[in-house]
């Protein structure tokens, strides 16, 4: 980024921050004044009503005049409050417009440092989380309980018993709803609706093979247990919210009944009864609007702070990406006179022999149903041959057991599973132990040109993926990212017809990323032969070197 742009953005951030603080202080002052004015209007309304009904000596004109006077002052307060909001909104809007204008010169800078771009996405995410928390705070906690609480404040001057009832109702309501609020922040409710989709995916034979290959049985079991535990917790959350609302309503009705009773007995003026009905909604609404503006300013300042952190982020990511080197121990595989037959079927592979050296790129071409996927699964150790030998060797030529060799291999299956889990889990499935390695996750997405998936999820690795969220090509890219994330020595790409046919440049880049690794490609498309050192044809269960 140009130094001129950095200085300009730094100035904008500083100006916006100072303006926001001015707006914040102004709003806090107006909130206090607003409370005093609302209380004055309530008491004046009471005096006005009582002067008419009880024919007090003081003329109603006095009350009307006083009411109008304070109403004018209150309107001035509203105007000041609105100006404070405008000041803040304009500063935030101007800031975003200026930054977006400068950002047009950033694409290459951002692409060079994917994790820096993710830091910018997290700034948006932090603001979004604050917004969600604010919505919960106001609509689930403040609105029902605060009305009862503020009505209780007024009743305290006229009828202590009714006031105590409202105070207790408000406190119990807040207690229930705040507990629910804590639950909301802890529960990943997005998993709940996908419980069935996960169960359906696991019911497929292909999924079981993939889980076996990646040794992810424990992880899948843990996910299933989480899904089972979330549903009752979500129900408990709904019960807590309902209980809080019911308590607030009951206390409100009891207080009104008590107040009505004392009005009928003549112990409480009718004006007080009418005023109390208006008090809660008037003051609570004013408080809500004021606090809403205040929280909005806090959100803007949070975003500004995060954006400043993003812009000053040092260029360490690229160095760390370059420092990560592939495993040099290597792996090559050799098949000798291998045959395979499915139950109740003809022989699929016959006396097949193949040697793939360390770092070699091999293409195996064949028509649909020729046995390409079967051969891939044999190499990966997911199937056992009827006869023949499959040997695995490390870079020094030492023989490896199939279990150890499997830890050095990864694959993208033709029948890969679209796991409706989080974005993080979909990629880390290839190496669950590194599930929190966001640098590695980002690198995997960049390598398969799929960083836009993360961007659409606002930089949130833990966002849930549904079947309809991604196209079939994007799901395949995730499967490729999963394979690359595991950083194994041998990569098997099973059935590359989609990419080889539609985007050969993309495939070429993908092969270049596998420099130093052994790659075996299976496809119907002969165009992939240009990326291979050796090309074989698989026909009628037999393998031959292409001419």
Rounded mean pLDDT, 214-241 = 61
> Tell me, what's the pLDDT at 536?
94
- Rounded to an integer, the average pLDDT of 105-129 is 43
Read off the tokens for 138.
Answer: 């106001």
Residue extents of the structural domains in the chain? 1-153+268-315, 331-545
- The pLDDT assigned to 226 comes to 62
Longest Cα separation, the chain? 115
Give the rounded distance of the alpha carbon of 166 from its chain centre.
39
Digit-coded pLDDT (tens) for 430-448 = 788 888 888 889 888 988 8
Within 137-216, residue ranges assigned H as helices are: 143-158, 160-186, 195-202, 205-214
Which letter does DSSP use for residue 370 in this model?
A: S
pLDDT-derived band at 326, boundaries 50, 70, 90: very low
Three-state DSSP state, 340: strand
Give the residue-averaged pLDDT of 124-140.
51
Long-range contacts of 189-196 (CB under 8 A, 24+ apart): 189/230, 189/234, 190/463, 190/464, 191/226, 191/227, 191/230, 191/464, 192/227, 192/230, 192/231, 192/234, 194/227, 194/420, 194/421, 194/464, 194/466, 195/227, 195/228, 195/231
In CATH terms, the fold of domain 331-545 is: Rossmann fold (3.40.50)
Q: What is the DSSP string of 515-543?
A: TTSEEEEEES-GGGGGG-SEEEEEETTEE
Per-residue model confidence (pLDDT) at position 26: 56
- What does the angle CA 405 – CA 407 – CA 412 come to, to the nearest 5 degrees? 100
| Joined tokens for residue 122 | 């997290």
Q: Does residue 535 surpass a pLDDT of 90?
A: yes
* CB contact at 8 A, 477 and 450: yes
The pLDDT score that the predictor gives to residue 114 is 41
Integer Cα distance of 451 and 448 in angstroms: 8
408-419 average pLDDT score: 80
The structure's pTM equals 0.48
Residue 83 has pLDDT above 50, yes or no: yes
- Residue 109 pLDDT grade (very low, low, confident, very high; cuts 50, 70, 90): very low
Residue 134 has pLDDT above 60, yes or no: no
382: pLDDT confidence band, cut at 50, 70 and 90? confident
Mean residue pLDDT of the chain comes to 66
Residue 206 has pLDDT above 60, yes or no: no
Return the minimum-mean-pLDDT range out of 11-20, 279-288, 320-329. Answer: 320-329
Q: Which position has the higher pLDDT, 394 or 226?
A: 394
Q: Which residue has the higher pLDDT, 524 or 8?
A: 524
């Amino acid at each position: 980024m140009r130094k001129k742009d950095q200085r300009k953005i730094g100035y904008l951030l500083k100006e916006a921050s100072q303006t926001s603080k001015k707006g914040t202080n102004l709003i806090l002052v107006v909130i206090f004044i607003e409370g005093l004015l609302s209380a004055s209007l309530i008491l004046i309304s009471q005096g006005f009503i009582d002067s008419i009904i009880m024919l007090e000596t003081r003329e109603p004109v006095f009350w009307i005049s006083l009411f109008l006077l304070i109403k004018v002052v209150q309107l001035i307060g509203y105007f000041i409050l609105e100006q404070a909001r405008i000041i803040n909104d304009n500063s935030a809007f101007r800031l975003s417009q200026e930054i977006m204008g400068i950002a047009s010169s950033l694409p290459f800078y951002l692409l060079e440092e994917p994790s820096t771009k993710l830091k910018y996405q997290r700034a948006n995410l932090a603001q979004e989380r604050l917004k969600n928390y604010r919505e919960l705070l106001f609509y689930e906690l403040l609105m029902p309980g605060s009305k009862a609480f503020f009505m209780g404040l007024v009743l305290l001057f006229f009828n202590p018993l009714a006031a105590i009832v409202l105070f207790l109702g408000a406190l119990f309501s807040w207690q229930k709803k705040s507990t629910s609020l804590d639950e909301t922040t802890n529960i990943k409710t997005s998993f709940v609706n996908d419980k069935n989709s996960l169960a359906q995916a696991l019911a497929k034979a292909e999924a079981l093979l993939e889980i076996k290959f990646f040794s992810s049985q424990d992880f899948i079991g843990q996910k299933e247990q989480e899904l089972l535990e979330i549903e009752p917790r979500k129900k408990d959350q709904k019960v807590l919210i309902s209980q809080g609302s019911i308590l607030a309503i009951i206390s409100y009705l009891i207080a009104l009944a008590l107040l009505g009773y004392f009005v009928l007995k003549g112990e409480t003026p009718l004006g007080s009864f009418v005023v109390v009905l208006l008090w809660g909604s008037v003051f609570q609404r004013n408080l809500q609007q004021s606090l809403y503006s205040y929280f909005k300013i806090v959100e803007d300042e949070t975003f500004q702070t995060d954006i400043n952190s993003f812009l000053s982020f040092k260029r360490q990511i690229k160095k760390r990406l370059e420092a990560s080197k592939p495993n040099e121990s290597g792996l090559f595989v050799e098949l000798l006179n291998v045959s395979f037959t499915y139950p109740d079927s003809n022989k699929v592979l016959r006396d097949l022999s193949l040697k793939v050296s360390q770092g070699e790129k091999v293409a195996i071409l064949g028509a649909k149903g020729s046995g390409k996927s079967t051969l891939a699964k044999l190499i990966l150790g997911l199937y056992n041959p009827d006869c023949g030998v499959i040997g695995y060797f490390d870079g020094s030529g030492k023989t490896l057991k199939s279990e150890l060799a499997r830890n050095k291999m990864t694959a993208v299956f033709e029948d890969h599973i679209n796991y409706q889990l989080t974005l993080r889990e979909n990629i880390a499935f290839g190496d669950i132990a590194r599930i929190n390695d966001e640098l590695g996750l980002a690198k995997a997405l960049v390598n398969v040109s799929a960083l836009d998936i993360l961007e659409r999820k606002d930089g949130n690795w833990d966002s849930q993926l549904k079947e309809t969220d991604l196209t079939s090509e994007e799901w395949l890219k995730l499967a490729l990212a999963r394979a690359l994330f595991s950083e194994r020595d041998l990569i098997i790409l099973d059935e590359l017809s989609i990419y080889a046919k539609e985007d050969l440049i993309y495939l070429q880049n993908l092969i270049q990323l596998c420099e130093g690794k052994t790659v075996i490609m299976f496809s119907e498309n002969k165009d992939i032969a240009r990326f291979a050192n050796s090309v074989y044809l698989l026909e009628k269960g037999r393998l031959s070197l292409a001419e």
